[in-house]
Amino acid sequence: MNRLFEISRRSLSTYQAALNVTSHNISNANNPYYSRQKVSVTAQPMEGVGSRFQGSGSQLGNIERIKDTVLVQNLQMNNYGKSYADKMKDNLSRAELYFTEPGELGLSSRIGAFFNSWKELSVNPASTSARQSVVSSSESLISKFSEINEGLFLQKKDTVLEAKGLASDVNAKLNQIRTLNEQIYTTEGNGGNASDLMDSRDEVVNDLSKLVNITVYTDERNISNISIGGVFAVDINFVTEFEIVEQNNQLIYRTKDDGSIPSVKGGALGATLETFNTKLPNYKQQIDEIAKSIYDNVNALHSTGYTLTDPPATSINFFTNYGEGVFKLNDQIKADVKMIAASGNGQAGSNTISSSISSLRDQKILNNSTLEEIYGSIMGELAGEISVQEQDSETFELAINQLEAQITEKSGVSLDEEMVNIINFQRSYEASARLIQIADEMLQTILGIMQ
Amino acid sequence: MRVTDLQLKSNFLLQYNKNKSALTEVQNQLATQSKINKPSDSPADIAAVLRFRNQLKEVESFQSNIDTSITQVNTAINAMSNTYDVVESLKEQLRPLLNSEFPDVLYNSLPKLIDGAIDSILVASNTQFDGKYIFAGNDYSQKPFQLNPSTNQYEVKSASLEEKQLVEIGKNIFVDINNNGADLFNSVFKYSGNMNTAAALGFATTQTETIFGADGAEYNFSSTMTKTADNTFSYSYALTDTNGVAVPDGSGTSELIFDSSTGKLSSIGGGDPKGFAVTVPANKVNFRVDLTNITQSTGGFNMSAGLNTEADILNVLKSMRDKLLAREKPTTNQFVVLDSFTKTNLNEQSRAGDIYNRLEDAESVLNSSELLAKELISKKNDVDVAKASIELETNQYALDMLYKISARLLPQSLLNFL
> pLDDT digits over B212-239, tens only?
999 999 999 999 999 999 999 999 999 9
Find the DSSP H helices in B283-384. Answer: 313-325, 332-381
Q: How many CB atoms lie within 10 A of CB B381?
A: 22
Average pLDDT, integer, range B101-112: 87
- Asked if B14 is an interface residue toward chain A (Cβ–Cβ < 8 A), one would say yes
What integer pLDDT is reported at residue A123 of this predicted model? 86
Give a yes or no: residue B387 inside a domain.
no
B197 and B172 within one domain? no
pLDDT of amino acid A63: 86
Residue B47 reports pLDDT greater than 90: no
For residue B104, what pLDDT band results from cuts at 50, 70 and 90? confident
Choose one of B272, B287, B307: the last residue of a domain: B307
* Other Cβ atoms closer than 10 A to A143: 12
A212 phi, psi to nearest 5 deg: -155, 155
Candidates B1, B4, B130: best to mutate against A (most CBs of A within 10 A) is B4
Do B12 and B63 reside in the same domain of the chain? no
Q: Which of A92, A116, A349 sits opposite B57 (nearest CB)?
A: A116
Chain A residue closest to B45 (CA)? A380
Q: Are A66 and A411 in contact (CB under 8 A)?
A: yes
- Give the number of A-B residue pairs with CB atoms closer than 8 Å: 187
Tell me what pLDDT residue A348 has.
84
Per-residue pLDDT tens digits for B331-357: 999 999 999 999 999 999 999 999 999
| Number of domains present in the structure of chain B | 3
In order along chain A (451 residues), what is the average pLDDT of each group of 10 residues?
84 92 90 88 82 83 86 90 95 93 89 92 88 94 93 94 96 97 94 90 94 93 94 95 94 94 94 96 94 95 94 94 90 94 88 92 89 92 94 93 89 88 91 91 88 71
Which contiguous run of DSSP H or E holds residue B51? helix B43-94
Most confidently predicted of A25-29, A240-244, B292-296, B306-310: A240-244
Tell me A314's DSSP state. B
- Ramachandran category for residue A43: left, alpha or beta (phi over 0 → left; psi -120 to 50 → alpha): beta
Q: What does the pLDDT read at residue B2?
A: 78
Q: HSE of A237 in the Cβ direction (CA atoms, 13 Å)?
A: 0
pLDDT for residue B200 is more than 80: yes
* Among A residues 25-84, those touching chain B with beta carbons less than 8 Å apart: 29-30, 32
The pLDDT score that the predictor gives to residue B9 is 84
Q: Are residues B245 and B173 in the same domain?
A: no
pLDDT at residue A160, as a whole number: 95
Task: Say yes or no: B49 contacts chain A, CB-CB below 8 A.
Answer: yes
Asked if A144 has any chain B CB less than 8 Å from its own CB, the reply is no
Tell me if B391 is assigned to some domain: no
pLDDT of A158: 94
CB within 8 A of A269, min separation 6: which ones? A163, A166, A167, A170, A211, A212, A253
Which among B307, B330, B351 is the end of a domain?
B307
Ranges assigned E (strand) in A263-365? 319-323, 326-329
A37-46's contacts with Cβ under 8 Å and 24+ in sequence apart are: A37/A63, A37/A64, A37/A65, A37/A66, A37/A193, A37/A195, A38/A63, A38/A64, A38/A66, A39/A63, A39/A64, A40/A64, A41/A14, A41/A15, A41/A428, A44/A10
Q: B60 and B2, same structural domain? A: no
**Substitution target from B46, B72, B135 for chain A, most A beta carbons within 10 A:** B46
SS3 B267: strand
* Chain A residues close to B172, C-beta within 8 Å: 359, 362
Beta pairing, strands B275-280 & B265-268 = unpaired
Chain B neighbors of A345, CB-CB under 8 A: 138
Q: Within this chain, do residues B53 and B153 fall inside the same structural domain, yes or no?
A: yes
Q: Which of B284, B307, B330 is the last residue of a domain?
A: B307
Which tens digit of pLDDT belongs to each residue from B258-285? 999 999 999 999 888 888 889 998 999 9
Q: Which residues of A49-78 are buried (b: 16+ CB within 10 A; e: fewer)?
A: eeeeeeebbbbbeebebebbeebbbbbbbb
Residues B108 and B70 in one domain: yes
Domain co-membership, B216 together with B358: no
Q: Do residues B46 and B161 both lie within one domain?
A: yes
Per-residue pLDDT, B380 = 85
* B212 and B293 both lie in a single domain: yes
Torsion of CA A246, A250, A252, A258, to 10 degrees: -70
The letter for the amino acid at A249 is N
- Rounded CA separation A80/A209 (Å): 5
With CB atoms and an 8 Å threshold, state whether B39 touches A415.
no
* Nearest by Cα to A267 from A201, A202, A209, A206: A209
Residues B298 and B317 in one domain: no
- Give the range of the structural domain holding residue B144, as residue numbers without chain letter: 36-185+312-382
Whichever domain contains B285, its CATH number is 2.60.98.20
Output the domain CATH number for residue B62: 1.20.1330.10
The residue type of B250 is: G
Residues B103 and B205 in one domain: no
Taking the C-alpha atoms of residue A437 and residue A431, their distance in angstroms, rounded to an integer, is: 10
Instruction: Report DSSP letters for A381-425, one per residue.
Output: HHHHHHHHHHHHHHHHHHHHHHHHHHHHHHHSPPHHHHHHHHHHH
pLDDT of residue A283: 94
Taking the CA atoms of residue A194, residue A197, residue A198 and residue A204 in that order, the dihedral angle to the nearest 10 degrees is: -170
Among A375, A89, A101, smallest CA distance to B37 is for: A101
User: What's chain B's average pLDDT?
Assistant: 90
Same domain, B208 and B248: yes
Closest CA to A352 of A363, A361, A341, A362: A341
